[in-house]
A and B are shown apart, each in its own frame.
Chain A
Amino acid sequence: MLHKFRYVNPGDRSELLDLLAENGSSAKLLAGGTDLLVNIRGGVQRPQLLIDVKKVKGFQGISWSVTDGLVIRPGVTINELLRDATVRDKFSLLAECAHDLASYQVRNRATVIGNIVNASPCSDMAPGLLCLGARVVISSKRGERELPLAEFFTGVKKTVLASDEILERLVVPAAAVGARGSYRKLKRIQGHDLGIIGVALMKKDGLISLGISSSAPTPVLVTGLHEGDAEEVLVAASRKATSPISDVRCSKEYREFMIGTFVKRLNREVK
């Protein structure tokens, strides 16, 4: 199936927002393209216009300050995140998630924000970002709004983004510094694979958060758990928040079992 589309490469933010406002519903934003281009090739998505965000002034790089927290912009690739000293030192959970995403070559192209806006249930970045309390800053010609990442996903590959909006910044609050956490992903091979399930567990200030992928229509966040809670309590909370299904990758039964197993393992490993 051959699909023709237009490609534009705006250099500044207002131009981008104009393009989105004009073409929103028939346009798709292009960053790494590791999902979008594959989908276009497969005939699953047929956008009329691709708006490349990589050259937009101000859309590159990661910044960190105690006041603004960790700010990740649309051009930031997974490997850029992995190379960032602040991420490595202060947000190792995020680095773990990034390291488990696809292969090195794909990580050179794929972006952090792309992995979020794609809204795949098996997102590798979402579990860690959810635990860390990340917030999303959404922009359009109409203005800017900010909300917790936990409120961003609305269904399988669906988000709160309106057709004229872009997720412009992912912000991990400075308050998350000092959290201890880890990510575990069940795969079919040792090499790169989509998560059959993925679980991030984070401990901070006596509280435990869980971020779980491939187990519900969206990645889910579980809060309200405490260090010292019995394993069964954690497992029960994870089960309540998820609704895995059977598919070509795995059965529902095994997914449920492995979510529980990973929660228990992570609770023991994260000191």
Chain B
Amino acid sequence: MLEHMEPSELKLVGRKALRVEGVGKVTGEAVYVSDMALPGMLHAQVKKSPHARARIIRIDTSKAEALYGVRAVIVGKELNYKLGLYVVDKDILAKDEVRHYGEAVAGVAADTIEIAKAAVDLIEVEYEVLPAVLNHMDALKADAPLVHPNLGKYDYVPVFSPQAGTNIPNLSKLRKGDVEKGFAESEWIVEREYTNPSVQHVPMETHVAIVEWKTGDEVNIWSSAQSPFTVRNLFCYTFKLPLNKVRVVVPNVGGGFGGKAGIHLEPLLACLSRKAGGKPVKMRATREEEFCLLPCRSALTYRIKTGVGAAGKILAQSLTLYWDAGAYADYAVNVTRASSYSAAGPYDVPNVKLDAYTIYTNKPYGTAYRGFGHVEFFWGLERHMELIAQVIGMDPLEFRMLNLLKPGSITITGERISDHSGDPAKCLEAAAKAINYGKLTPQEKAREERTGRKIGKGLATLHKAPAMPSFTATAAVVKMNTDGTVIVNIALTEIGQGSATAMAQIAAERLRFPLDRVKVTIEKDTDKEPYDWQTVASKGIILSGNATIMACDDLLKQAYETAAQVLRAQAVDLDHDAQGIFVKHRRDRVISFPQLSVGYAFPDGNAIGGPLIGVGRYIAQGLSNLDKETGQGLPALDWTFGAHGVIAEVDCETGEYKVLKVASAFDVGKVINPDIVRGQAIGGMIQGLGTAICEGYIYDEKGHLLNPSFTDNKIPTAQDLPEEIETIAVETAQLDGPFGARGVGEHPMISVAPALGNAIQKATGAELLHMPIRFEDVWRAVNAKEPIDNWITKTPTGSCRSDPATRHSSPDSAALP
């Protein structure tokens, strides 16, 4: 995007700056949808299925409707709409059949939450329980019940390949070279299977929306959502409304992590509002509803077979990914597609055969989650690299370095890596150095002596490109005020990633203004902001950053044109500073930005120009669709490479462990704001540790989710931070990135788990194939005991809830301590 600029020339980019929205957040003044109330607003609640799969025989809502204060009750049958991001497979409320535990079967809007809850209790539903398919590997069997018998009739986006008559809403394939020949030439062949369960995003603010469907089909939506334009698009697609009838407003968002990327409560609330005469209807999911009414991250079974030549070069890989979509395809089909061009990692592999299946099961459905599949498949891939190194007798670092992509390498989709693609080797080296990889320091040896625990060090690499359509686009509008300050309108949502601050720095740098003269809007409104595809995929910095630069340039061009007339000079001879525009070789006369901001007025009253409003439009360049049979094409806007190094201290007798240090390095191209990069690196790392150490959905054999709350679905706390954290930014400029920058929002979460698993293996020899890595899993691996697979458990009752009276039984009730 930009010609190279020396760091010394940059005044704001690459330097620290406080978050532009920070004060409101730390004082509590920032407004979230959770805080909002509108005049006459109703409150919604939903009736949820206690079964994983059942036929709805009868729903009786008469008692609920008769309750004083109830304004609308709806059931699936009266809603003739289909929802879906890529495969249009979901009803707003379950119609004939419920497909997962916790699925909504009826909705109520009432004057208060209490009345709405009481009304939900009064709704009677009669079910015929049907055999459910829970394990995604079982769902592939010929005699498995079909979660969606109508799969062949659903609309879908053509880049996907639903398999009618099966539980497979998408199969993505990739073929590179000749994999059989590669295996034949291999000295070693290593094959393993790696697994991980579903997990939950757990944003601090649960899903919440307010919707009013007014007379004349004018719909207003306030939502805690990542992507206002996607909510609007999907909403209008489902209800067949013109886009200019529906307005989506997103104020501050209390965390998204992918879980708020699509459309969620909005359609249901819209139908309730319409039925209640247009009153605004609000619903905020409970924490328990986050776990089973709203989507999660898909489980994965990843089979990897790798052939390695005598010198340690990988010659062939057969990769099969089985993604557990749960009951609906949602984002899982696109996670599958993303894995089909990424799941070999940042390695140079000449021969690859890859098949990635999305599989329906009767469980809460999977959606986008920070990393978009990469956290899951890198667990397997980077554990596999460690195990291969062990088999062939090479140090795992050396083995990785030997096989990493380098300039000239061809990726598995046929993309040639260049000097500007980013440097995975530099990241891996930096992470290795930061943990003193391969040896124990005298202090570490002393610590081992003192504690009787073993210290292990492990590494893992990572990469990720934005998973997005080839034509992904965005726009920015920069408007000057009469005092020379500017407002930047973009629809990239600030969900904690720091994009508003980064965009302010980019705009101020480009305009040569101090930072406090630039405001980036926080509240996003589809009626006011220019289009943006979505706030996902770590693509914001490149796409919105470039659009912002172009909008600034456009504004300056307009200002220069007016100033040229005032100064009676050619625009080419002009230059500017923060104050205004002047002739380069005669700097004594400056036309200030306030003078130009809404048009310049001469002393005699004549005026020229007009309000300075710059527009920047940017669309991804040169990407192509992947061939459906071979997976060849150019899917990646950019690759952000990275690596983690983990030092763990393990009790070899019990499997208890502690994470002493995590060092993370990412090739971010160019740091826009060092504190925000570090914040993302640490936040992602700890979220990755959660996935690595403790998180995971556990079901009983009937498909009831046994841990839909923080009682038994633990996430890390501040006390779980490693003793030491080091973050390293590598800067290999991205040629089409703003100031050379590329995205790093998701990457810190990827590959934390395998780096930890590798460190634990180094300390104990434990060959871990499943994450999370609980103490018991390490103990079992060390002692060569059969691993426990309790992700669908035969022993649903706990020591603390073995009294049937206190057992969790309904999705409407909370889990118990």
Contacts and interface: CB of A to CB of B under 8 A. Distances in A.
B117 A251 contact: no
A58 to B, nearest CB: 29
A42 B720 contact: no
Contact of A35 (B656, B813, B817): B817
A210 to B, nearest CB: 17
Interface stretch (B31-39, B612-620, B709-717): B709-717
Nearest to B712: A248
A206 interface: no
Interface residues of A, number: 41
Interface in B86-141: 114, 117-118, 121
A2 B114 contact: yes
A2 B795 CA distance: 30
A1 B795 CA distance: 27
A20 B775 CA distance: 45
Contacts of B814: 38, 41-44
Given A2-B114, A44-B806, A122-B799, A190 B717 contact: yes
A7 interface: no
Interface stretch (A133-141, A162-170, A253-261): A253-261
Given A2-B121, A188-B774, A190-B719, A42 B800 contact: no
B39 to A, nearest CB: 25
Contacts of B779: 254, 257
B104 to A, nearest CB: 16
Contacts of B717: 189-192
Interface stretch (A81-89, A175-183, A239-247): A239-247
B797 interface: yes
B815 A188 contact: no
A214 B776 contact: no
Contact of A120 (B718, B774, B800): B800
A258 B775 CA distance: 11
Interface in B578-607: none
Interface in B66-99: none
Contacts of A190: 658, 716-717, 719-720
B798 A188 contact: no
Given A43-B813, A194-B711, A245 B799 contact: yes
Contact of B800 (A122, A192, A254): A122
Contact of A193 (B653, B714, B797, B803): B714
B654 A194 contact: no
A70 B356 CA distance: 65
Contacts of B487: none
B706 interface: yes
Contacts of B800: 120-122, 156, 194, 214, 247
Contact of B714 (A1, A188, A217): A188
B114 A38 contact: no
B443 interface: no
A145 interface: no
A2 B816 CA distance: 17
Contact of B806 (A156, A189, A191, A246): A156
Contacts of B799: 121-122, 214-215, 244-245, 247, 249, 255
Q: Chain A interface mostly helix, strand, loop or mixed?
A: loop
A91 B774 CA distance: 33
Given A215-B799, A247-B799, A261-B654, A191 B719 contact: yes
Interface in B165-198: none
A217 B693 CA distance: 28
B663 to A, nearest CB: 20
B85 to A, nearest CB: 31
A38 B808 CA distance: 12
B119 to A, nearest CB: 9
B716 A189 contact: yes
Contacts of B808: 42
B698 interface: yes
A122 B803 CA distance: 13
Interface in A180-234: 186, 188-194, 214-215, 217
Contacts of B774: 188
Contacts of A121: 799-800
Interface string B778-805: 0110000100101001011111111101
Nearest to A244: B799
A155 interface: yes
* Centre residue among B779, B795, B800, B801 by max chain A CB count within 10 A: B800
A217 B798 CA distance: 10
A116 to B, nearest CB: 15
B707 interface: yes
A105 to B, nearest CB: 12
Given A41-B814, A257-B654, A247 B795 contact: yes
A250 B776 contact: yes
A42 B795 contact: no
Contacts of A194: 711, 800, 817
B732 interface: no
Which of B656, B715, B817 has most chain A Cβ within 10 Å?
Answer: B817
B116 to A, nearest CB: 9
Nearest to B117: A2
Interface string B524-539: 0000000000000000
B634 interface: no
Interface string B635-657: 00000000000000000011010
A120 B799 CA distance: 9
Query: Which of A186, A254, A258 has the most B CB atoms < 10 Å from its CB?
Result: A254
Nearest to B800: A122
B240 to A, nearest CB: 36
A39 interface: yes
B802 A191 contact: no
A110 B785 CA distance: 40
Contacts of B711: 194
B808 to A, nearest CB: 8
Nearest to A261: B654
A255 B776 CA distance: 9
B798 A249 contact: yes
B788 A251 contact: yes
B21 interface: no
A42 B816 contact: yes
A110 to B, nearest CB: 11
B694 interface: yes
Nearest to A120: B800
A42 B711 CA distance: 13
Contact of B816 (A38, A158, A189): A38
Contacts of B656: 186
A7 B795 CA distance: 38
Interface in A136-161: 155-158
B470 interface: no
B54 to A, nearest CB: 20
Nearest to B698: A248
B619 to A, nearest CB: 44
A43 B807 CA distance: 11
B630 interface: no
Contacts of A155: 803
Given A156-B803, A157-B806, A188 B694 contact: yes
A191 B114 contact: no
- In the A-B complex, the 10 residue pairs with the smallest Cβ-Cβ separation, listed nearest first, are A191-B717, A42-B814, A247-B798, A2-B117, A156-B803, A42-B813, A43-B813, A190-B719, A191-B719, A254-B776
13 contacts: A1-B812, A1-B813, A43-B813, A44-B816, A122-B799, A189-B717, A190-B719, A190-B720, A191-B716, A215-B799, A247-B800, A250-B776, A251-B790
Interface of B: 114, 117-118, 121, 653-654, 656, 658, 693-694, 698, 706-707, 711-712, 714-720, 774-776, 779-780, 785, 788, 790, 793, 795-803, 805-806, 808, 810, 812-817
Given A189-B714, A244-B799, A254-B776, 6 more contacts: A42-B814, A122-B800, A157-B806, A191-B717, A246-B790, A257-B654
Interface of A: 1-2, 35, 38-39, 41-44, 120-122, 155-158, 186, 188-194, 214-215, 217, 244-251, 253-255, 257-258, 261
